[in-house]
Amino acid sequence: MSSYLTFYLVPKGENQKPLMFTSYSRSTDVYQAYYEELHPAFIGNDDKPNYTELTPDKALQVVNAAKDDLKKAETALNNRIAAYKELGNMSDEAVQDIAETKDYIEDLKSNLIELQCIYCWVGDIEYSDFEKVLINID
């Protein structure tokens, strides 16, 4: 069964219902980043859905965690390259290891860009016709 991280926008005004804005499936890095860092509310099974409010601080928390992951991966890559050079032996396995780590780093960078975009629009929500952003997982 699929699971989704869903973002909702709540229009300004009294008793406004959240409007679904976008969602990410469990297989995406955005879903994983938000799930691991914030543990959003499960939508629930009853008539009243559950939400977690996504504030700019929380969105920045996710961005900062992704930046930390990227720094760790880059440090690990640099350490591996230095170790391989010190050994003087660049076997096929070493070349493959470095290539896979570089691909992983590129994936982390792409995800970081998307997380930063989310942070930007969450931070600017007050300048729109919406009062807040809500998220949940179903």
CA 135/CA 138 separation, integer angstroms? 10
CB 7 within 8 A of CB 59: no
Q: What is the pLDDT of residues 74-114, one digit of tens each?
A: 999 999 888 888 888 777 888 898 899 999 999 999 999 99
Rounded to 10 deg, the angle between the 92-123 and 56-87 helix axes is 160
Q: How confident is the model at residue 1 (pLDDT cuts 50, 70, 90)?
A: low
Q: How confident is the model at residue 85, as a pLDDT?
A: 82
CB 66 within 8 A of CB 108: yes
Handedness of CA 86, 71, 4, 41 (dihedral sign): positive
Q: How confident is the model at residue 80, as a pLDDT?
A: 87
What global pTM score does this model have? 0.90
The average confidence (pLDDT) of the chain is 93
Q: How confident is the model at residue 116, as a pLDDT?
A: 98
Q: What is the pLDDT of residues 59-73, one digit of tens each?
A: 999 999 999 999 999
CA 99/CA 105 separation, integer angstroms? 10
Q: How confident is the model at residue 46 (pLDDT cuts 50, 70, 90)?
A: confident
CA 47/CA 75 separation, integer angstroms? 48
Of the chain, the percentage scoring pLDDT greater than 70 comes to 99
Q: How confident is the model at residue 83, as a pLDDT?
A: 85
The tokens for 137 are 């997982």
CB 97 within 8 A of CB 69: no
Which value, in Å, is the radius of gyration of the alpha carbons in the chain? 19
